[in-house]
């Protein structure tokens, strides 16, 4: 558990830890990702996943989606520190704004023959995964879903010859008509 | 109107347009074009330091004593890395600094070129913001933005890393007409509903205390004036952090002295017993709070801070107010006057009686001596002999710093320059040089320790070169005193490596630099020696030989609460405390 940023013993209280998805809108300038990543490492906060890409090319704005865990006070600190960064436009806590849509994409390579291979195909079909590549001894599947679905899929694939996994991390958006 | 000029000329023009009169720096290969631009003008005066760390501390002293932005110019590689300690110091103490670093030419970046380092990477964590300039078109905007970011909101250091090829390039310079930034917009005005709630809570207080900090100083002299007005209106006691000294006059009856680890008995107990705490521009630093779960257990708290990330960081508060101290104080004063609340006079009177009782302990008393100079006595005499003139004090870090904070009485803001957050030994002399430049007629004294002063001793040469008559008042106890004190407390008096061996003869050292050396080791001679120091119009090193064994009290030992202060043996009716047994195993882990 990350401690409060003090060298003195924390007050004896146990705060529950929760998972938050933050959407951070930033100017896409050199070093902006290093500023965000450095803030987390420098202050001992967790990053569970981080995705970033330019979303508005004309104004060079990127959207960073960060999944992090911490006590409520740590989450508040993270948001306050992110908002202080000069190239940051806005920080929205999608976990607080309600049940956000959260999707992640993964590529899974399974290697095997015979019954194992057949079982891998059945499981992929059951999850609705797409086959992106196939050889006589392997498949590459693509699955898009919530982090939990992907975790389940990968866990099952482990039994039938999982060889490699690549995941994008979470992209998220609030439900309803309002934009950010 | 735009004008064509080189990147190097743009740097100097920006400084002129920003009203900068002095910059502190050290030349090198990657900033030569800028130095050439300096050569061609005389509006911006360059102060040549002897080490880049000194340049940043000098700029900090300049900034903190004048309210202006301090400007630093250093070269790439070692120039930039040497500046890092100063930048971190300015970051921790919220001092507005613009530091321009040279960088190797754009096409060489990343090639491990001579004197190349990843300056923006290295300084990302110790600056408020930093820039690597990648084209001449961006340069005027970035330079002006650097000043804006450094000086607004919670002030801090900003680095502009400028490759050498861009310094040579021609471009068009226009002074930006607006400061409006697309993303950076600090909150200045406090939320009026929260301020109203704060006033209501203050009006209902039975045992209130103002806990004020460096934010009041950073907010400008107007904030100090408003704090005084609010304190007068309410009649509440005021205590201050190390960084906030001078915002409220030390001689005033409502002032309880500094609080925290080496704060006064009355301040710390007032913090412990209060029912309403009004934090104005302080950040609940660990030197203040001590043990968090024992910190001010009975209080409701109001916290005024311009930095949203300071709110609820270490200590939970009931009423957070994000905004600039002066603006919030102005609203507070106005609302208090408008509502003219009925305060609980009986309770407040009782509170003051209690405080006066604590004050009666006279926690800063110490065992006097006719034979050796007590360090506390030295600071007291320095104060008495300088209080009638405009005096600025800087310090290094350690026991002498705490004694200076305890025994020198500050009546005005911006007269006290010390490294609080980072605790940088070697800060005081360069800071004094910067302060003296900003206030050429004033008396500037660096209260120093013999160990700290040696960390940036080379800046004596700078003082001599620019005829800056700074006074270095060394409380020489031949120990890294605070280290020795902690070794006494925590490590059975095993003084590992804390003895200052092979010290230079400070009098001869002063003379070698072209300054004046004075030594004093008798209490009876002290006044005359201090007067001699004040009256010399040249840099002075004053070697004040003091008691080697004196410890700094009161002290809240690590891991203890405000109500568990250690006092000077002189005040303990039960006799000396066995310092080795005070701190428990858990406390030993702390700094």
Within this chain, domains A17-93 and A101-173 share the same CATH topology: yes
Cβ neighbours of residue B349 closer than 8 Å, sequence gap 6 or more? none
Q: Which residue has the higher pLDDT, A8 or B350?
A: B350
Percent of chain B clearing pLDDT 90 (strictly above):
91
Domain ranges of chain A: 17-93, 101-173
- In DSSP notation, A26-60 reads EE--TTHHHHHHHHHHHHT---SEEEEEEEETTTT
CB–CB of A8 and B290 under 8 A? yes
Instruction: Give the nearest partner residue to B183 out of A9, A10, A27, using CB atoms.
Output: A27
CA–CA gap between residue B543 and residue B521 (Å, rounded): 8
Instruction: Give the nearest partner residue to A80 out of B129, B183, B309, using CB atoms.
Output: B309
Residue A3: predicted pLDDT:
39
CA–CA gap between residue B427 and residue B215 (Å, rounded): 20
Domains annotated for chain B, with CATH where assigned, are 3-173 (3.40.50.970), 192-359 (3.40.50.1220), 375-545 (3.40.50.970)
B479 pLDDT more than 60:
yes
Show contacts of B486-493: CB within 8 Å, 24+ apart. B488/B551, B488/B579, B488/B580, B489/B557, B489/B579, B489/B580, B489/B582, B489/B583, B490/B583, B490/B588, B492/B580, B493/B580
Residue A10: predicted pLDDT:
53
The single residue listed with the structure tokens 């110019």 is B73
Average pLDDT, integer, range A99-119: 96
Residue B564: predicted pLDDT:
86
B441 class by beta-carbon count within 10 Å (0-12 exposed, 13-18 middle, 19+ buried): exposed
Average pLDDT, integer, range B454-480: 98
CB–CB of B286 and A6 under 8 A? yes
Alpha-carbon distances, residue A73 vs A3, A70, B174, B314, B318 (angstroms): 11, 8, 45, 9, 14
Please give the residue of chain B at the shortest CA–CA distance from A12.
Answer: B293
**Which parts of chain A are beta strand (E)?**
17-27, 49-56, 61-71, 88-93, 101-111, 130-134, 138-145, 162-173
The single residue listed with the structure tokens 């101290």 is B325
B575 pLDDT more than 70:
no
CB–CB of A76 and B312 under 8 A? yes
Please give the residue of chain A at the shortest CA–CA distance from B185.
Answer: A86
Average pLDDT, integer, range B275-289: 96
The single residue listed with the structure tokens 């096409």 is B107
Tell me the CA end-to-end span of chain A in Å, nearest whole number. Answer: 31
CA distance B373 to chain A (A): 35
Residue B586: predicted pLDDT:
74
pLDDT tens readout for residues B186-234:
999 999 999 999 999 999 999 999 999 999 999 999 999 999 999 999 9
Apex CA B55: angle with CA B430 and CA B132, to 5°? 155
Chain B interface, mutation test: which of A11, A86, A87, most B Cβ atoms within 10 Å?
A86
Q: How confident is the model at residue B268 (pLDDT cuts 50, 70, 90)?
A: very high
- The predicted complex's ipTM stands at 0.91
Chain B hits for A88, CB-CB cut-off 8 Å, are 183
Lowest-confidence region among A10-24, B66-80, B144-158, B259-273: A10-24
Residue A87: predicted pLDDT:
96
Chain B hits for A7, CB-CB cut-off 8 Å, are 286, 590-591
User: Which fold, A17-93?
Assistant: Alpha-Beta Plaits (3.30.70)
A4 in Cβ contact with A75 (< 8 Å): no
CATH of domain A101-173: 3.30.70.1150
Chain A hits for B293, CB-CB cut-off 8 Å, are 9-12
CB–CB of A88 and B183 under 8 A? yes
Instruction: Count the neighbouring beta carbons within 10 Å of the beta carbon of residue B577.
Output: 14
A98 touches chain B (CB under 8 A): no
Q: Which residue has the higher pLDDT, A2 or B438?
A: B438
């Amino acid at each position: 558990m990350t401690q409060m940023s003090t060298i003195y013993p924390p007050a004896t209280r146990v705060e529950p830890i929760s998972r938050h998805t933050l959407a951070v809108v930033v100017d896409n300038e050199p070093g902006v990702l290093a500023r965000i990543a450095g803030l987390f490492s420098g202050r001992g906060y967790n990053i569970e996943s981080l995705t970033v890409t330019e979303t508005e090319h004309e104004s060079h704005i990127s959207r960073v989606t960060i999944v992090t865990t911490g006590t409520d006070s740590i989450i508040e600190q993270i948001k306050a520190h992110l908002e202080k960064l000069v190239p940051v436009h806005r920080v929205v806590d999608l976990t607080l704004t309600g049940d956000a849509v959260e999707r992640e994409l993964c590529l899974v390579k399974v290697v095997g023959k015979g019954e194992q291979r057949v079982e891998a195909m059945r499981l992929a079909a059951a999850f609705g995964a797409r086959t992106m590549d196939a050889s006589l001894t392997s498949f590459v599947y693509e699955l898009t879903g919530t982090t939990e679905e992907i975790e389940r899929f990968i866990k099952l694939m482990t039994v039938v010859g999982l060889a490699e996994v690549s995941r994008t991390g979470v992209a998220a958006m609030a439900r309803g008509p309002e934009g950010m | 109107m735009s004008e064509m000029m080189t990147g190097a000329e743009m740097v100097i023009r920006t400084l002129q347009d920003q009203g900068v009169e002095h910059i502190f720096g050290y030349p090198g290969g990657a900033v030569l074009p800028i130095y050439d631009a300096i050569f061609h003008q005389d509006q911006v005066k360059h102060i040549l330091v002897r080490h880049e760390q000194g340049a940043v501390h000098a700029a900090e002293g300049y900034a903190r004593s004048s309210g202006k932005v301090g400007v630093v110019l250093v070269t790439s590689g070692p120039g930039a890395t040497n500046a890092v300690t100063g930048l971190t110091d300015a970051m921790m103490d919220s001092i507005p600094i613009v530091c321009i670093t040279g960088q190797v030419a754009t096409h060489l970046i990343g090639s491990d070129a001579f004197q190349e380092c990843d300056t923006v990477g290295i300084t990302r964590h110790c600056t408020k913001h930093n820039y690597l300039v990648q084209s001449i078109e961006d340069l005027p905007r970035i330079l002006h933005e650097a000043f804006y970011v450094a000086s607004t909101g919670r002030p801090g250091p900003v680095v502009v890393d400028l490759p050498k090829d861009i310094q040579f390039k021609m471009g068009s310079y226009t002074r930006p007409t607006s400061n409006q930034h697309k993303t950076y917009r600090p909150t200045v005005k406090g939320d009026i509903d929260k301020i109203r709630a704060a006033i209501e809570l203050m009006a209902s207080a039975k045992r209130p205390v103002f806990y004020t900090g460096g934010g009041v100083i950073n907010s400008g002299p107007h904030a100090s004036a408003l704090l005084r007005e609010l304190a007068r209106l309410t009649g509440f006691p005021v205590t201050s952090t190390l960084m906030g000294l001078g915002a409220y006059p030390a001689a005033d009856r409502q002032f309880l002295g500094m609080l925290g680890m080496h704060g006064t008995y009355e301040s710390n107990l007032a913090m412990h017993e209060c029912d309403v705490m009004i934090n104005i521009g302080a950040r609940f630093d660990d030197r203040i709070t001590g043990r968090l779960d024992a910190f001010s257990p009975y209080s409701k708290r109001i916290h005024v801070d311009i930095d949203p990330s300071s709110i609820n960081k270490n200590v939970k508060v009931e009423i957070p107010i994000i905004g600039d101290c002066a603006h919030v104080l102005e609203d507070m004063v106005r609302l208090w006057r408008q509502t003219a609340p009925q305060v609980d006079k009986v309770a407040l009177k009782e509170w003051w009686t209690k405080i006066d009782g604590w004050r009666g302990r006279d926690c800063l008393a110490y065992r006097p001596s006719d034979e050796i100079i007590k360090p506390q006595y030295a600071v007291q005499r320095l104060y008495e002999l300088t209080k009638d003139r405009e005096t600025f004090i800087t310090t290094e870090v350690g026991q002498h710093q705490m004694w200076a904070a305890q025994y020198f009485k500050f009546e005005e803001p911006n007269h006290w320059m010390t490294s609080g957050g980072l605790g940088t030994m070697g800060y005081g002399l360069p800071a004094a040089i910067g302060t003296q430049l900003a206030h050429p007629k004033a008396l500037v004294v660096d209260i120093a320790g013999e160990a700290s002063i040696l960390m940036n001793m080379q800046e004596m040469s700078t003082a001599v070169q620019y005829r800056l008559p700074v006074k270095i008042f060394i409380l020489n106890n031949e120990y890294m005193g605070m280290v020795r004190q902690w070794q006494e407390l925590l490590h059975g008096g095993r003084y590992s490596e804390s003895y200052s061996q092979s010290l230079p003869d400070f009098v001869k050292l002063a003379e070698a630099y072209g300054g004046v050396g004075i030594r004093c080791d008798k209490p009876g001679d002290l006044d005359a020696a201090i007067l001699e120091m004040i009256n010399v119009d040249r840099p002075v090193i004053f070697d004040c030989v003091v008691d080697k064994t004196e410890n700094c009290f009161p002290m809240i030992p690590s891991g203890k609460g405000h109500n568990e202060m250690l006092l000077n043996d002189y005040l303990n009716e039960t006799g000396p405390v066995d310092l080795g047994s005070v701190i428990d195993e858990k406390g030993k882990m702390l700094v």
